[in-house]
Amino acid sequence: MLFKNITVIDDGFHVLSDAFVATEGDKISYVGTQRPAGEYGREYDGRGKLLMSGFINAHAHSPMTLMRGYGENLKLQDWLTGKIFPFEEHLDSNAVYWGTMLAVAESLQYGIVSTSDMYYFCDAMVRAVADSGTKANISRSLTNFTGAPAKSMQSYREMKALYRSSHNAENGRIKIDLSLHAEYTSDPQTAGALAEYAKEIQDTVMHIHVSETAAEQMECIARHGMTPAAYLAEAGLFDVPALAAHCVYSTDEDLEIFRDKGVTVATNPISNMKLASGICDAARVLDRGIGLAIGTDSVASNNSLDFFEEMKVMAIGNKVSVSDPEVMTPRQVLAAATAGGAKAQRRDDCGSIRAGNRADIIVLDISVPNMHPVHDMINNLVYSCSGRSVVMTMVDGRVLYENGEFHTIDIEKTVYEAEKATDNILRKL
């Protein structure tokens, strides 16, 4: 496919006007301002359009789309124990499949090409991602409230089976990560067993909730005499590439651990602010030389997967939190939303528009009034744009969404089945 006469954000975050981007198979084969030689099949006239790398959602719980708008105006722990956990007790693989598919559809609509997902009934999630043609890093999250030996737990066995069956499935579109849900939902022996397995397989990412609330931070110190980050590092969970979600209350010492261990921080600004947990000091993360990515968290705590909203709130929230309008530039935000997420997922050939990378491409309509005038296109993308501007989402060179149409998802059936699954659960509560 050849995109022509189109504005392009390249891998250096330079804006190219009247440019050309060619794809062959699942790869980008050309980026430049001169038309490449050869035939490319479909030609897409990009006048009034912008082409950029698709977004990477670095922390999510996709099946929780079934809980959109359920349990509002509650503190995190009250929300979890009073609403979310009781609902989740009635989930099954069918509900998780359709909840995931609904999230995938919304993601494609808003330009998200890959998601780092943490949940259970993960076989159903793998099927949804495979069927839709998108990408995901999926982890079966471990919790342990009983003190049972980790290796005896059904969840531990499911985690290992999932890795064996699905890691690098669908030509690498699906990767299987490992996950300890959090320090406060497990125990040291579970953390140790998971660290042991991670070191055994190596080819994985460790995905963990870290320091989401002040209570989590303080209670961990009371239990173990150290912060969650220090506890997880001591347990060996950061001895493989790791993704630390939230990090709202991370200390300077915690950030040193992240930097030294190569941990990527996934900030979730809207979810954290909506639950009044605070906001990760993302500027401080970058200043320390730590990898930064952006997540939406669940739709139950966010209500939307519009990544443009996430970027804008991240930029503005960080400025407000430190009373400094100069922190978190639009280019830093856009880098976290694309290349930063790809690095977190260990997808070295994703996250930017350059020849040889996977063709994970989104096209935006920039002819609309809210995108003009253009003093700086990247400023407009972060502060003025919205998910409604996405007119095409391509994953591995395959167009999955274009002009309101889903090419791999029966959206009417997906909405119907997701609503049906939700109603079935609500009747049991």
Identify whether 10 is part of a domain. yes
Q: For the chain, how many structural domains are there in total?
A: 1
Average pLDDT over residues 177-203: 97
> At 106, phi and psi to the nearest 5?
-65, -40
Residue pair 176/346 in contact (Cβ under 8 Å)? The answer is: no
Question: What is the structure's pLDDT at 74?
Answer: 87
Identify whether 43 is part of a domain. yes
pLDDT digits (tens, 9 = 90+) for 304-344: 999 999 999 999 999 999 999 999 999 999 999 999 999 99
- Please state, in angstroms and rounded to a whole number, the distance separating the CA atoms of residues 214 and 216: 5
Domain limits for position 375: 2-53+350-406
> At 242, phi and psi to the nearest 5?
-135, 155
Residue pair 304/64 in contact (Cβ under 8 Å)? The answer is: no
pLDDT digits (tens, 9 = 90+) for 53-80: 999 999 999 999 999 999 899 888 888 8
Residue 164: pLDDT band with limits 50, 70, 90: very high
Identify whether 356 is part of a domain. yes
Contact residues for 152 (Cβ-Cβ < 8 A; gap 6+): none
Specify which residues 32 forms β-bridges with.
20
- Please state, in angstroms and rounded to a whole number, the distance separating the CA atoms of residues 334 and 342: 12
* Domain CATH code at residue 365: 2.30.40.10
Counting every residue written for the chain, the total comes to 429
- Please state, in angstroms and rounded to a whole number, the distance separating the CA atoms of residues 190 and 236: 11
Cis preceding-peptide flag for 373 (omega within 30 of 0):
yes
Question: What is the structure's pLDDT at 125?
Answer: 98
Question: What is the structure's pLDDT at 132?
Answer: 98
| Amino acid of residue 144 | N
- Please state, in angstroms and rounded to a whole number, the distance separating the CA atoms of residues 424 and 406: 26
Identify whether 374 is part of a domain. yes
Work out the percent of the chain whose per-residue pLDDT is above 90. 98
Helix axes 122-132, 93-109, angle to 10 degrees: 40
pLDDT digits (tens, 9 = 90+) for 79-120: 889 999 999 999 999 999 999 999 999 999 999 999 999 999
Question: What is the structure's pLDDT at 82?
Answer: 94
pLDDT digits (tens, 9 = 90+) for 278-287: 999 999 999 9
What's the mean per-residue pLDDT of the chain?
Answer: 97
- Please state, in angstroms and rounded to a whole number, the distance separating the CA atoms of residues 95 and 421: 5
Identify whether 94 is part of a domain. no
- Please state, in angstroms and rounded to a whole number, the distance separating the CA atoms of residues 429 and 426: 5
Identify whether 175 is part of a domain. no
- Please state, in angstroms and rounded to a whole number, the distance separating the CA atoms of residues 387 and 321: 25
Identify whether 376 is part of a domain. yes
Question: What is the structure's pLDDT at 275?
Answer: 93
- Please state, in angstroms and rounded to a whole number, the distance separating the CA atoms of residues 40 and 85: 51
pLDDT digits (tens, 9 = 90+) for 209-246: 999 999 999 999 999 999 999 999 999 999 999 999 99
Work out the percent of the chain whose per-residue pLDDT is above 70. 100
Q: What angle do CA 68, 388, 395 make, to 5 degrees?
A: 85
pLDDT digits (tens, 9 = 90+) for 341-392: 999 999 999 999 999 999 999 999 999 999 999 999 999 999 999 999 999 9
Identify whether 354 is part of a domain. yes
Average pLDDT over residues 244-258: 98
Average pLDDT over residues 141-162: 97
Helix axes 411-426, 93-109, angle to 10 degrees: 130
pLDDT digits (tens, 9 = 90+) for 10-27: 999 999 999 999 999 999
